[in-house]
Amino acid sequence: MFIQESPQQTLKESSSFTVAKFGGTSVADFQAMLRCAHIIKNDNSNRLVVVSASAGVTNYLVRLSKKNISVVEQTEIITHIGTIQFNITQHLSNVIVQTLNAEITALLDELSVHALKQSQQYSAKQGDAILSFGEQLSSRLFAQVLQSIGVNSAYFNVQQVMKTNSLYGKAVVDIEQLASACSEWLTPKFTKQVIVTQGFIGQDGLGETTTLGRGGSDYSAALLAEALNANNLAIWTDVVGIFTTDPRITEQARAIKEISFGEAAEMATFGAKILHPATLIPAMRKNIPVFVGSSKEPEKGGTQIKQVVASSPTYRSIALRREQTLVTVKSPAMLHASGFLAKVFSILAKHELSVDLITTSEISVALTFDNPSGSTQALLTSAVVQELEQLCEVTVEHGLSLVAVIGNGLDSAKGIGQSIFNTINDVNIRLICHGASANNLCFLVDEQDANNVVEKLHNELFT
């Protein structure tokens, strides 16, 4: 099928400015991209489009960025990525397909060079260069799909404005520089064109490619919305909004019509994959409402995330974060002593590890870490454990999941613990954090119990 619809649309002035982000499944193939292109075309306020890599591509790139990948495997992976992307170009008109295919081939060749270098001499820097190709490819394709339905659109390299430090795998963006670079390079373009750019990637002071962490395109879009003073941020994904829990876990999960920034931020922090954990920080700073909806079913509406909402229920949702590691450090020297925790944390800080939950007793401390496979960030390695062992006795447990009940007044409402823990009294609970926040109560369970716990709790608290 070759698409070439109406002649180029001339852009009408719109008083509202929306940054629209499309996730991996939304740009997975040509049909998905076409649906998203129509979403942009149908609402003139959409001026900046931020895209993720086509579904599956970043996972392939993560494999490619690892140590010791054979040349045969490299070729195989790059061929798979090429197939996903060329399957999209074949639907576009002959006029552009040749140029576009040449562009993609050139990118894939560049990717092979990086992959070869990486297998010869591994570096985290090279790893980020490799990971960036997914978004580089999908953004070029999406700009052409928009053109094909008559939207005057252009590709923009986000690295021109998204300047970061050199923490490869989890780079930190220079927000001030982003704002000034956006006014200089991006704002002037919006009167004429819809701009399509990449989520997830940036560039450090050395001109090297960086990435913001897995799932980071949501965060990129929010940072751009903030820098551009957008009126709205729309996150288009594969579900019709934010649900009371992951709809993949229970069919009972229902979409939430509106939710406060604080509640949604808690959900994201505690693992609701729907939003990257940092997404709402820029939106909150500038009070930019965020919409979450399905690019497959835009007519079904979605969730509005905003500062003030009509209701603040005790229970809003349940989030689940898998692949947690629990580290217990124990030292009799801790009894009546000061400075032990500071020493533990300085080791963790040196290795750029961040702790999620913490509970302490007289002589021991339990800490949890997010340790997902496929992550590009610093993980708890045996080197860290060895360093901690110089200080104290260390026990490491993997295979745990963090369940977080999110809501309002959870630190003070009566009977909360009873309702929650009575429901799951047959489950082994490894650690509980309650009281530090009014908005969450969290605990750790074995990975194999996690879905069951969420389902049961959801039944008890939401139906």
* Site residues (vs ligand ASP, CB under 6 A): 23-24, 52-53, 58, 134, 199-200, 214-217
Q: How far apart are CA 215 and CA 199, in angstroms?
A: 9
Q: How far apart are CA 197 and CA 88, in angstroms?
A: 18
Q: How far apart are CA 118 and CA 116, in angstroms?
A: 5
- Which of ligand ASP, Mg ion, ligand ADP, none does residue 155 bind (CB under 5 to 8 Å by kind)? none
Contacts of 180 (CB under 8 A, 6+ apart): none
Asked whether the beta carbons of 166 and 205 are under 8 A apart, the reply is yes
Both tokens of 386, joined, read 């060895």
Among 17, 19, 20, 23, binds ligand ADP (CB under 6 A): 23
- Which of ligand ADP, Mg ion, ligand ASP, none does residue 199 bind (CB under 5 to 8 Å by kind)? ligand ASP
Q: Tell me the closest approach of the beta carbon of residue 113 to ligand ADP, in angstroms.
A: 28
Among 39, 242, 284, 288, binds ligand ADP (CB under 6 A): 242
> What phi and psi values does residue 199 have, to the nearest 5 degrees?
-85, 175
Candidate ranges 36-44, 180-188, 269-277, 400-408; the one touching ligand ADP (CB under 6 A): 269-277
Q: How far apart are CA 122 and CA 104, in angstroms?
A: 25
Asked whether the beta carbons of 288 and 367 are under 8 A apart, the reply is no
Q: What is the DSSP letter of 101?
A: H
**Nearest residue to 21 (alpha-carbon basis) of 2, 45, 57, 48:** 48
Among 127, 134, 215, 262, binds Mg ion (CB under 5 A): 215
Q: Tell me the closest approach of the beta carbon of residue 215 to ligand ADP, in angstroms.
A: 5
Contacts of 437 (CB under 8 A, 6+ apart): 266, 410, 411
Asked whether the beta carbons of 222 and 281 are under 8 A apart, the reply is yes
Candidate ranges 15-23, 135-143, 287-295, 335-343; the one touching Mg ion (CB under 5 A): 15-23
Q: Tell me the closest approach of the beta carbon of residue 52 to ligand ASP, in angstroms.
A: 3
Candidate ranges 239-247, 280-288, 327-335, 368-376; the one touching ligand ADP (CB under 6 A): 239-247
C-beta of 22 vs 315, nearer to Mg ion: 22
Three-state secondary structure call for residue 143: helix
- Which of Mg ion, ligand ASP, ligand ADP, none does residue 210 bind (CB under 5 to 8 Å by kind)? none
C-beta of 55 vs 457, nearer to ligand ASP: 55
C-beta of 320 vs 388, nearer to Mg ion: 320
Residues 279-338 interacting with ligand ADP (rule: CB under 6 A): 317
Among 18, 197, 245, 408, binds ligand ADP (CB under 6 A): 245
Candidate ranges 18-26, 102-110, 201-209, 241-249; the one touching Mg ion (CB under 5 A): 18-26
Q: How far apart are CA 368 and CA 416, in angstroms?
A: 23
Q: How many residues bind ligand ADP (CB under 6 A)?
A: 20
Q: How far apart are CA 219 and CA 202, in angstroms?
A: 12
Name the β-bridge partners of 305: 259, 290
Using CB under 5 A, list all residues that contact Mg ion. Answer: 23, 215
Using CB under 6 A, list all residues that contact ligand ADP. Answer: 23-26, 52, 215, 237-239, 242-243, 245-248, 267, 272-274, 317
